[in-house]
Structure 1
Amino acid sequence: MGNQPNSSIVGKVIIEAVENQLAVNHPPKVRKTLDRLLALGISHEEAIKYIACALSVEVFGVVRDSEGFNPERYDNNLECLPDLPWED
């Protein structure tokens, strides 16, 4: 367990990645998702956290399962928010 990053650091990095995606508008679906969540009355901070949850599914898939980033799955998970990708 010594080489595993602290979960709060990982969370901050994923939030930063979402903010970077918003700054460069890539993928554009991230901005559309943020706007949609804000329109639902979700706060900006919470909306960013929801988007980070969708991104974390991809990050952990890449790290844990050694699979490539799946933009289609990321897009689908963004579309489902505020339902979280692991909720059924």
Structure 2
Amino acid sequence: MDEDEQADAFFEELLGAVDQQLESDSTPYVRKQYDRLTKAGLSDDEAREAIARCLAEETDRMYRSKKPFDEKAYRTSLEMINPGD
């Protein structure tokens, strides 16, 4: 598997995690931002991908810094998604 295939596989895993977060009672803020994005005109896939990019950034930060997942930073990142971009 080359780097592009690995990146694609990782992003698919992130999309799966987003789907779980959308259904989970412990992450209502993810559903709130998803609803905001779709009401602003993004498709389901576009909204899920935007959320997955935020999750990827926080996951990358976590691995690079060797610190735990920062839920507050993740929430802030989600809130900053501009559906017009």
TM-score, normalising length: structure 2: 0.85
What's the % identity of the aligned pairs?
30
Per-residue CA deviations over 1:16-69 (Å, capped at 9, x if unaligned) read: 000011121331110000000011011010000000011111111122221210
Gaps of 5+ in 1: 84-88
Which residue number in structure 2 is paired with residue 29 of structure 1? Answer: 29
Instruction: Please say if 1:59 is aligned against 2:43.
Output: no
Instruction: Please say if 1:43 is aligned against 2:16.
Output: no
Partner AA of 1:48 in structure 2: R
Write the distance in 1 (CA, Å) between the matches of 2:81 and 2:25. 18
Regions of 4+ moved over 6 Å: none
More helix by share: 2
SS in 2 for 1:33: helix
TM-score, normalising length: structure 1: 0.83
Write the distance in 1 (CA, Å) between the matches of 2:33 and 2:21. 12
